Homo-oligomer: A and B are copies of this chain.
Amino acid sequence: MVLLGGAVFFEGSEKKVEIVLAAGGQDLRNLERSFWDDLVAQCKATILSHISNQKMQAFLLSESSLFVWNDRIVMITCGGTVLINSILSFVDIFGVDAIDSIIYQRKNEYDPRRQESSFMDDVAILKNQLTGVALRFGHLDGHHNYLFNLEKKYAPAANDMTCELLMYQIQGPAADVLRANQSAKNIRELIGFDKIAGDFAYDDFAFSPYGYSLNGIRGEDYITMHITPQEDSSYISFETNIDLAKENVAIIEHLIDLFKPNSFDLITFNTNLNIHTDYLKGPLYRENISCGYNVSFKQYFKQSNLQLRAIKL
């Protein structure tokens, strides 16, 4: 479907999985590149580029990102990808017994009908092979985040935390810049990452006619950002495992201030973020999930006194 002056609809919102192998498993970093090519192909994506350091590998995908450590992977895919197929493939190869933790998430989608499966379809398939719990953070009538986790005792390390920032309906000068054809260098400068997280090694890609992905790594730490600027379905995600509360909560405030989303969600695992913002707030959803993480979800939004025309379809 073509919308708004030819801007093609793209579903930026992501599916995400983190899988942790049991102690004593093989070092995932020793797997051949072809293994990751195959895994990524299962969900209908491809690997665009790759960076690594002594602790981890980061793959930039045609639809988002894959990070690999010694004992775990984080895979994030957007668009029409079918991440559940990559998960099933991984579980099939390693076996359920060799896996200590699986956390599978799906964000609410702009257009759920374009997806091959619903979250509950995916859960039904997973439950054929393993025991787990399916949850929803947030009401169906607003932003919400689906989460499935393997029901298995697991004790996350003290520094194992994640923060996800999901921004919807971006606007203002930075949004306008993103809607024109840009180089990756221009977008990286627009975001100003070099200033706020300059000690990360970066890999990024500007899609044509627009869209942008960035991976950054530093030791075991990652940041990743994915931009879908299309006006009718704009979405930017930022995610990291660094301790933002301690290190740099200003990154979140900087991104919100830069992209001026009409609404955004903050999702945290084993951390709390107190951001300074004049956005209005939805309920805080908080749950200790059965694999040892404290997960929180909150939607932020704005009033408007704009008068707009209807959108011609």
Contact = CB atoms under 8 A, between A and B. Distances in A.
Interface in A293-313: 295, 297, 301, 303-313
A280 interface: yes
Contacts of A297: 310
B281 A305 contact: yes
A140 interface: yes
Interface string A221-248: 0000000000011000000000000000
A58 B136 CA distance: 40
A224 B147 CA distance: 39
Contact of A112 (B113, B284, B295): B113
A1 interface: yes
A120 interface: yes
A282 interface: yes
Contacts of A146: 313
A286 interface: yes
A263 interface: yes
Interface residues of A, number: 49
A118 B113 CA distance: 8
Q: Which of A111, A115, A140, A263 gathers the greatest number of chain B CB atoms within 10 Å?
A: A140
Interface string A138-156: 0111100011000000000
A51 interface: no
A147 B312 CA distance: 10
A262 interface: yes
A64 interface: no
A207 to B, nearest CB: 21
Counting every copy of the chain, the complex holds 2
B287 A304 contact: no
Given A112-B112, A113-B113, A303 B280 contact: yes
A123 B313 contact: yes
Nearest to A1: B120
A110 interface: yes
A133 to B, nearest CB: 7
Contact of A232 (B135, B140, B310): B140
B304 A283 contact: yes
B283 A306 contact: yes
A285 interface: yes
6 contacts: A110-B141, A113-B113, A137-B310, A283-B306, A283-B307, A285-B310
Given A135-B313, A284-B306, 12 more contacts: A110-B140, A113-B115, A134-B312, A134-B313, A135-B311, A139-B232, A140-B232, A141-B168, A141-B262, A141-B263, A283-B307, A286-B307
